[in-house]
Structure 1
Amino acid sequence: MPALIEISDPVDPRIDMYREIRERDLVGRKGLFVAEGKVVVEKLTDSAHHHPLSLLIASKRVEALQPIIARLASDVPVYVAAQPVIDAIAGFSMHRGILAIGRRTTVMAADDLLAACEDRAMVLVLSGIANHDNLGGIFRNAAAFGADAVLLDGDCCDPLYRKAIRVSVGATLLVPFARIVRQENMIDLLERHAFSPVALSPTGADLLSDWRPGPRTAVLLGAEGPGLSAKIIGRTRSVRIAMSGGFDSLNVATTSGIVLHHIASVPPK
């Protein structure tokens, strides 16, 4: 178990990576990211794809967080500061009392991630999801209903942005994900790995309730508003969720939850 390192000065250089994290997120900096809150940091310590580099804990939370500290490798620094100091470091009131700097350790190409899936698998493919709340909600649903992986196109925001991690309740640290390179055609990629693509659209040809997933299914979701491109929908089976008259769309994270629940509830073909 690592030793605790007391921090009394908010400008101590040892905690530079934690300073003003609201304005200066670590995403994109050498694979580092910020995890916030007990539940999220617990998932970071348990993740097969990421690992903690250090923790910053409010003094009053140390005793309650001992189970997390005990699971850390001995060389992971655990910094401890009084609440006013930790608030000054973070740049806002850190009522959760725990932050961690993590590093992504498993980075797979989309091809390799699909190739690693079992014979029966279900993946989500996201296009243009640029809202961190929506992305976090989708990952949370993916974890809850057992999605095997998430693929993101080049217009999606980063799942390791602090807010996306927090909204997902740490699911972005648990569900494997990969980026589809911009020059790659996502439908060709999916078909190359024997995944049947199904596109969600308010104008879908079939009702979701009438659709049964195959052994290897890829569910495609687009951004609210523009949705999926006509070119993508034209190469897939398209399905829609039945709604009351006069209303034709749902939040994309809500949509993902309904679709994933349907897949988990109906017997596969």
Structure 2
Amino acid sequence: MALNLHAVTSRDDPRIAPYTAVRERDLTGRDGLFLVEGKVTLEVCITRARFDLDSVFLEEGRVPVLAELLEKLPYSVPIYTAPQSLMDQIAGFPIHRGILACARKAPETDFGGWLSAQTGATTLALCIGTSNHDNVGAVFRNCAALGADGVVLDETSCDPLYRKAIRVSAGTALWLPYYHGGSGETLLDTLKGEGWTIWTLTPGETATNLYKTPRPDRLCLVLGPEGPGLSDALLARGERVRIPMANAVDSLNVATSLAIALSHRLSG
């Protein structure tokens, strides 16, 4: 199968505008587009993602190595190629993997509509104030590995389609259902109104021990920001649940806490 290849010879080529100054201008939120980087995420984009690819941008030596994968692309998707030095100039930093792609976000919907569309879902994770890209990526990866059906992020959490978040998620952010937007209070009220059981995770000593809490049919695990955790008002909107720890450590990392709670639910 022929590939839709286009050689790029100038950093000013308008066709590769979405790839310019990647580090300073991470694309997500710009014209409904976002960038992915690396072979793993490109493979997910082509074979499993819920998003349409606009184009692919490769270091020219990567084409023969990726030929089998690239042949799965619709011919309508252009594949731009450039020497490594020029690709680095365009992106604004060394693209060691030599692989970038530009994809398009899906149309937005309201949370109630999104939730109704998750037919058969029994386990969700809700992130409130999760602004670290690594944590968001790890949350998605843990959810995909440990049986969660989707991720909800409030408006103060970072976009899971940031390039680094996608990479840390090992591409799972490209196919696992998620919703991003709204306040934590509104999201929790909607979930409770739809019959979801809410566990607000906290290291507080008065919270119920995770391993002594009955597992509900439909569960949403709620995670607060690193450091302050969930506010008292948000904690009160669900059942406070804690992970018992052996030593006097302040708390666990957000993604680690989620992984433990999901593993416990999966084991039941």
TM-score exceeds 0.5: yes
Which residue of the other structure, out of 256, 261, 264, is the alignment partner of 1:262? 264
Query: How far apart, CA to CA, are the structure 2 residues paired with 1:102 and 1:53?
Result: 5
Output the TM-score relative to the length of structure 2. Answer: 0.94
Aligned partners of 1:50 and 1:106 also within 8 Å: no
Give the Å deviation of 1:199. 0.8
- SS of the residue corresponding to residue 65 of structure 2 reads coil
Aligned partners of 1:49 and 1:106 also within 8 Å: no
Aligned partners of 1:2 and 1:75 also within 8 Å: no
- SS of the residue corresponding to residue 61 of structure 2 reads helix
Match of 1:103 in 2: 104
Give the Å deviation of 1:107. 3.1
* Aligned-residue identity in percent: 41
Which residue of the other structure, out of 243, 248, 251, is the alignment partner of 2:250? 248
Q: Relative to 1, partners in 2 of residues 1:116 and 1:94: Cα closer, same or farther, differing over 3 Å? A: same
Give the Å deviation of 1:224. 0.9
Aligned partners of 1:119 and 1:215 also within 8 Å: no
Q: Please tell me whether residue 143 in structure 1 is matched to residue 144 in structure 2.
A: yes
- Please provide the CA RMSD for this pair: 1.7
Match of 2:40 in 1: 39
Query: How far apart, CA to CA, are the structure 1 residues paired with 2:184 and 2:208?
Result: 30
Aligned partners of 2:225 and 2:254 also within 8 Å: yes
Q: Please tell me whether residue 13 in structure 1 is matched to residue 14 in structure 2.
A: yes
The count of aligned residue pairs is 266
Give the Å deviation of 1:117. 2.4
Aligned partners of 1:212 and 1:263 also within 8 Å: no
Query: How far apart, CA to CA, are the structure 2 residues paired with 1:144 and 1:52?
Result: 25
Match of 1:197 in 2: 198
- SS of the residue corresponding to residue 138 of structure 2 reads helix
Moved more, 8-17 or 26-35: 8-17
Letter in 2 for 1:189: T
Q: Relative to 1, partners in 2 of residues 1:84 and 1:180: Cα closer, same or farther, differing over 3 Å? A: closer
- SS of the residue corresponding to residue 157 of structure 2 reads coil
Letter in 2 for 1:224: E
Give the Å deviation of 1:52. 0.9
The one-character-per-residue Cα deviations of 1:179-206 (angstroms, maximum 9, x if unpaired) are 3423962222111221100110001521
Output the TM-score relative to the length of structure 1. Answer: 0.93
- Unpaired runs of 5+ residues, structure 1, are none
- Unpaired runs of 5+ residues, structure 2, are none
Q: Relative to 1, partners in 2 of residues 1:184 and 1:241: Cα closer, same or farther, differing over 3 Å? A: closer
Match of 1:167 in 2: 168
